[in-house]
Amino acid sequence: AIDRDEGLRVAHKNPDIARLYEDFLGAPQSHRSHELLHTTYKPREVLT
């Protein structure tokens, strides 16, 4: 895969992700991070 040669392959060790949480999102599982990063699925009618 394309990331095979990348040195950084896990999000929790990525300094950019750590800075995002520190500067903007707060803590993992915080209300803000949940609101912005989690997806809510709703049933939809399928058009055929």
Q: Which residue has the tokens 């989690």?
A: 38
pLDDT at position 28 is 87
Q: How many CA atoms lie within 13 A of 27 on its CB side?
A: 2
Q: How many residues does the chain have?
A: 48
Instruction: Give domain limits for the chain.
Output: 2-37
Helices marked H in 1-48: 15-20, 31-37
pLDDT at position 34 is 94
pLDDT at position 48 is 77
pLDDT at position 33 is 94
How does pLDDT run across 10-47, given as a tens digit for each residue? 877 889 999 999 999 999 899 999 999 999 999 999 98
| 37's tokens | 């990063």
pLDDT at position 8 is 65
Q: How many CB atoms lie within 10 A of CB 25?
A: 18
